[in-house]
Structure 1
Amino acid sequence: MYIVLGANGRAGGEAARALIERGEAVRVVLRRKEQSEKWTTLGAEVAVASIEDPGAMADALKGAQAAFLLNPPPVSGDPYARTEELGAALADAARRARLPKAVVLSSIGAQHVSGTGVIATLNRFEALLDGVAPATAFLRSGYFVETWSEVAEPVLSESVLPTFIEPSQQIPMVSTIDVGRTAAALLREEWIGKRVVELGGPEDWSAGDVASAFEEILGRPVESVLVPPEQRAALLAEEGVPGEVSSALLGMYEGIANGLFVRQNDSEHRRGTTSLTAAIERVVAAVGQAGR
């Protein structure tokens, strides 16, 4: 039995689907029972538990061959304090359940203690989860291609791609399809000890490359436009992002600009197979479907 946290999110959902497609027995851990129908339809077992409750989470993790663990994206409050709380609780639950193997979602750049904004929470999350299972792998993902869905509306309506990343700067990006497939593959591998696996797409991409992928799909020019740093906090505030979360996110983009979003030489490096165009095509389809 493979256990997957965050199944209703991007990475967790892809990991669960990848395991189910391989014919594996899967238990997804959800916060609310009403979210379970789509997973039971796919043949997964469902457990209801919150990371904040080590006892309930330990029960959800019991009997696992391996588990995919993650730190939920921050939505309110202090992301750093929240990571301390959730990381400690999840580590407690994993140890109570005697989890034999864990794949923990992290990010490229998580080797840095500071200077990377919200990514620095994953540096701490890795430290809190280190050794929670005899076999523990930290899957450090590149920037999710699907994150560009958050600015797809102006692309579709105005042919403009707003970006907080300098348009020509290439960074590790990867589709969550490949994150899920890699997580599923790692869960099924055998090893003992700690691993750090860094995952990017078939090649590194820039915001300009993303705009070109939108161009190809939409059949019209799309311009990538850098949002000046002094305007970014106001934009996030307009979108309802709380101040502490906004500061952490903006710190991430500052870290990217400063060249800290890079792989470590001594880590395992893997690349996915999903092209940028294929991933953006899925973004366009999802945004179109949501708008119906």
Structure 2
Amino acid sequence: MTAYSPLPYAVFGVSGRTGAATADALLRSGQPVRVVVRDSAKAQAWAERGAEVAVADLTDLAAMTQALSQVQGAYVVSPQHYSREDLFERAELIAEITARAAIAADVPRLVALSSVGADRESGTGWIRMNRMFEQRLTDAGVSTIFLRAAYFMENWMPMVGQAMRSGTLPTFLAPPQRLLPMVATVDVGSAAAALLQEKRTGTCAVTLAGPKDYAPNDVAAIVSATLEKPVDVAVLPETEWPEALADAHFSKAALAGFTEMTRGLNCSHIDIKSDPRAVEWVGTTPLERVIVELVQGQR
């Protein structure tokens, strides 16, 4: 039996899926948690569950240092601001502040959300922001486990909505029968919580995929079975990507990053097995469960 520590685990990103899943997993296992938010109003539900609440902007060194002080460890994220033209510069600033705050607060260990492909020097689009995060924390000498998640199953939500309305599932991933590692965000949270509690020191990378690989055709088949009607797959040519993404309100820089990242996925330049030093973890949540929930949530 491990000795109980009254110090909490700090969890960032609880307004998003992976941070919320991490905080939830820690609380369910009886661990003390400090959620870190920009707006205290967004932490009410966590406070009601017994979590401490810290308020910090990710670019405020003093507030970040305070939020990371007196903790057993922390789950940190670098949120990506897709509406900004300076999203890469913003990510670099957040990485710098996070590293400096972690050193100032003397955090024993971090689990940092990253992505498959972060080991690649170029040709990864958005994933370069995760690489910046990894490099800055590594250079600072902070004990960090980089949790390189596969393609989020929840990324299919807007495409599932279109399939429900039109009977056709659009996809940027091609060819539609090619299998790709995907992971549920609840598994990211479970893995982050487990890694925080391992008490390991030093820096390493852990890749995280779902129980098996899936293709866009599998997503369409699950939607079809759930709706009990045919659903086709339509691979969107690259010339149509800007129009297809118009509702996302991406900046020009973000659209270019998405395009390069998706090309990298489609040609297998971004590959979960590309870093032989990374430790492989596997989640338990099947794609079927996530897609059915997405369908039910949009009915």
TM-score per shorter chain, which class?
A: over 0.9
Matches within 5 A, 1:86-235: 86-130=94-138, 132=140, 135-166=143-174, 167-235=176-244
Q: How many residues align?
A: 288
1:51 aligned to 58, 81, 91, which one? Answer: 58
Would the aligned equivalents of 1:99 and 1:132 in 2 still touch at CA under 8 Å?
Answer: no
Query: What CA deviation, in whole Å up to 9, does each residue of 1:133-154 have, x standing for no partner?
Result: 6531000000000011122221
Quick one: distance in 2 between partners of 1:177 and 1:222? 27
Q: How does the TM-score come out when normalised to structure 1?
A: 0.95
Query: What CA deviation, in whole Å up to 9, does each residue of 1:191-237 have, x standing for no partner?
Result: 22111100000011111111112122222222121110011022223
Amino acid at match of 1:254: R
State the superposition RMSD in angstroms.
1.4
Query: What CA deviation, in whole Å up to 9, does each residue of 1:40-74 have, x standing for no partner?
Result: 12221111101100110110111110100111022
Corresponding residue for residue 24 of structure 1: 31
Deviates more, 1:183-192 or 1:123-132: 123-132
Q: 1:160 to 1:232 in 2, by over 3 A?
A: same
1:64 aligns with 2:75: no
Corresponding residue for residue 281 of structure 2: 270
Q: 1:106 to 1:21 in 2, by over 3 A?
A: same
Quick one: distance in 1 between partners of 2:247 and 2:204? 40
Would the aligned equivalents of 1:109 and 1:261 in 2 still touch at CA under 8 Å?
Answer: yes
Query: What CA deviation, in whole Å up to 9, does each residue of 1:113-141 have, x standing for no partner?
Result: 21011012211110011165653100000
Would the aligned equivalents of 1:83 and 1:124 in 2 still touch at CA under 8 Å?
Answer: yes
**TM-aligned CA deviation for residue 287 of structure 1:** 2.8
**TM-aligned CA deviation for residue 238 of structure 1:** 4.4
Deviates more, 1:257-266 or 1:112-121: 257-266
Would the aligned equivalents of 1:171 and 1:261 in 2 still touch at CA under 8 Å?
Answer: no
Corresponding residue for residue 84 of structure 1: 92
SS at match of 1:204: coil
Q: How does the TM-score come out when normalised to structure 2?
A: 0.92
Would the aligned equivalents of 1:11 and 1:176 in 2 still touch at CA under 8 Å?
Answer: yes
Amino acid at match of 1:112: R
SS at match of 1:273: coil
Quick one: distance in 1 between partners of 2:20 and 2:296? 18
